[in-house]
Amino acid sequence: MLDLFESQWLGGSVHLKNRIVMPPMTRTRTSDGDIPNALMATYYGQRATAGLIVAEVADVAPSSNGYARTPGIYNEAQVAGWRLVTDAVHRRGGTIFSQIWHVGRMAHPSLMPDGEAPWGVTEAQAVNSDVFAHDAEGKLGYMRAGKPRQLETQEVSALIGTFAQAFANARQAGFDGVELHAANGYLFEQFLNSVLNTRTDRYGGGTVENRTRFLLEAIDAAVRELGPGRVGVRLSPFGYFNSMPEDPQAEETLLFLAQELGRRGVAYMHIVYELMPVGNMESAEFKKMHVDHAVLARVRSAFPGKIIWCGGFVSREQAQEALDTGLVDLIAFGRPYIANPDLAERLRQGWPLAVADRSSYYTRRGELGFTDFPAYEADSAAA
Ligand code: PHB
């Protein structure tokens, strides 16, 4: 029986002290210029007893900003800011990866360089989904994603170079590895979806080789930069967040990817089983999806690396039940990490979990609802 608290080899020379993952969560506490800062270093340092932290998603380039105040990883100031974060985590013996994305069509002209149209796999707009952007008066709020412009073939290839630079930046910033965000309707997943991706070039949706090419080329760039044991990928097969159409080829794509990622020695597949059917991060409810164990068993046999499950886990019992399926190696606890910096210890000891107020998830109120959650004190609770 797998134990949530036993140490775990992830890949290459990366060892985790337990099977608990703090998955990426946007918290919008960056400094102006989308720069990580000392407050964020405190926050991540407080959570360093997780086996693996995957930091909140970072923009690969200025054209990738879909939510104002998410951090970037494309310039020197941002790399210096991330260095504070990785140092804080390493000082406390933790392991931290950088999650990197391009949002593709999930963007808005008000966030784009020179107000240009968002970058899309095609011109199809995410008509039911919101981004966090500026309105005509410059006020920040949720609004519909903009109408995208379809990327030229050479632009897609050029983006691989942009990702390669970001992976080099992540290494320079002291991250132990990188996770490519290929879930939740952002650019990589826009290519993977055979219904949305109606392109006919070498990145086109018609064949599984072509629709996975963009992601696998980016994976190859990450492996070249960091080594395969320091590369993971996040996927949300069968999800439909951000107006993703239902894809009859989803399973074929997933199994092909499992095989190709395995061939490359990639450390882990991080699978999201939760989504927001409609609305936005602030107002919509998260929903747990059905987990098809038969499909996951096929993924498991095709992929020799580790599998992480993420999707509404809130207790040790739920995590153990998932581990007992034999289909998964690591368990991600998202929202519980917001109010419980010492979550690993609380789960181990059976101590109660604090609950965060959702209104503080994405605010700019600095430490409030961010770094002000104390570790549990058994003595004071008993007194
Ligand atoms: C997502 O993965 O769906 C996601 C990531 C970052 C955000 C919002 C959504 O700010």
25-73 pLDDT, tens digit per residue, is 999 999 999 999 999 999 999 999 999 999 999 999 999 998 999 999 9
Q: Which atom of ligand 1 is nearest to the CA of 183?
A: 2
Matching residue, tokens 């109606």: 198
Domains detected in the chain: 8-382 (3.20.20.70)
Q: How many angstroms does the Cα of residue 181 sit away from the middle of ligand 1?
A: 9
DSSP three-state, residue 77: helix
User: Is the CB of residue 254 less than 8 Å from the CB of residue 295?
Assistant: yes
Confidence band for 333, pLDDT divided at 50, 70 and 90? very high
Ligand 1 contacts CB of residue 57 (under 6 A) = yes
The protein residue with its alpha carbon nearest to ligand 1, atom 3, reads 184
Residue 276: its pLDDT value, please?
Answer: 64
Contacts of 184 (CB under 8 A, 6+ apart): 236, 239, 241, 242, 272, 275
Instruction: Look at the chain and count its residues.
Output: 383
- Residue 216's nearest CA partner among 160, 136, 297, 294 is 160
Q: Distance between CA atoms of 337 and 339, rounded to whole angstroms?
A: 6
**Beta-sheet pairing, 130-134 with 14-16:** unpaired
The answer for residues whose C-beta is within 8 angstroms of residue 253's C-beta and 6 or more apart is 192, 194, 208, 211, 212, 237, 247
Task: Provide the 3-class DSSP secondary structure of residue 84.
Answer: helix
pLDDT confidence bin for 189, thresholds 50/70/90: very high
Main-chain phi, psi angles of 297, to 5 degrees: -65, -35
Confidence label for 383 from pLDDT (cuts 50, 70 and 90):
very low
Instruction: Enumerate the H helices of 107-195 as residue ranges.
Output: 153-172, 187-192
Instruction: Return the residue whose CA atom lies nearest to atom 6 of ligand 1.
Output: 26
